[in-house]
Amino acid sequence: MTKIIKTVGVCGAGGTMGAGIALVAARAGFATVCFDRSGDTLEKAAKQSIGFLDKSVERGKLDATKRDGIVASMVRTTKLEGLADCDLVIEAVFEDLSIKRELLGQLDAVCAEDAIFASNTSTLSITEIASGSKRPERVVGMHFCLPAQLMKLIEMSPGILTSEEVFGAAWQWTETCGQTPVKTQDKPGFILNALLVPFNNDAIRAVEAGVAEPADIDRAIKVGLGYKMGPLELIDLIGLDTQVRLCEAFYPITLDPRAATPPLLRRMVAAGLLGRKSGRGFFAYEGNTMFGA
């Protein structure tokens, strides 16, 4: 029997990706538990999410009553025990295998035996992440695209031991949320990041080599290839420190030279130029709102 999902938990809900995933779940009518170990980070994400919803109302894309219902369905917690009643828990924590495996082990002790665990990893093996749980058959890959509250695509990846029932229930949930799932194999980077991490690094190296200014590189990509967002703008959105972690996770697995961290990227991160979240990356930003707000 397919698992009925009513309550969804998001680990790392204080981050850009986690906050967006929580909005997807709540907007689709699911009770949503937003977990992060930092209360301040959670509070900041909550304000950004409400701001995003308010803008949606102002633009006529969302009814005010619906907005109030979405906000009411989202609860925040800094205690892992707050996820105990969740039918589906999606982790969106740092792209670090040991951290993700440890989290799944902790969720084993908190959540019901029939709970589904999903990883939002963009580069790591679902099978290796699932090995941190005593029930790897209930772990599935569910990679949302950034910004999750705007993008529809979800890469769905079963691990070696993922049960068909769990994969089917997770797939059905994404469709209920109005998302578009695609099935990928448990391969490094799945579809998007296998192509995108090297491509984004190429754009960074073009800046470093003095080929053109960041704005001109992005404009060329958007006008010439029809992309809605340039690669450098995208890196600013996901965070330059996140791009470093993607490279560090992806390069050792693939040994693709294009996936290695560009020196300019490391220097910018060392200088605190992390993109939108720090106010400056390849471009400068004002305010502290969620993308799309």
Structural contact between residues 151 and 144, judged by C-beta atoms closer than 8 angstroms: yes
Q: Which of 143, 157, 201, 233 is catalytic?
A: 143
Phi, psi for 217 (deg, rounded to 5): -65, -50
Asked about 155 being catalytic, the answer comes back as yes
Q: Which of 119, 155, 157, 233 is catalytic?
A: 155
For the chain, list the strands marked E by DSSP.
7-11, 31-35, 74-77, 88-91, 116-119, 139-144, 153-158, 180-183
Asked about 201 being catalytic, the answer comes back as no
Structural contact between residues 52 and 23, judged by C-beta atoms closer than 8 angstroms: yes
Q: Which of 56, 119, 120, 122 is catalytic?
A: 122
- Which amino acid is present at 225? L
Asked about 143 being catalytic, the answer comes back as yes
Q: Which of 73, 119, 125, 193 is catalytic?
A: 193
Asked about 213 being catalytic, the answer comes back as no
Q: How far is CA 265 from the centre of its chain?
A: 21
User: What does the chain come to in residues?
Assistant: 293
| Residue 227 tokens, joined | 């992309």
- Just list the catalytic residues: 122, 143, 155, 193
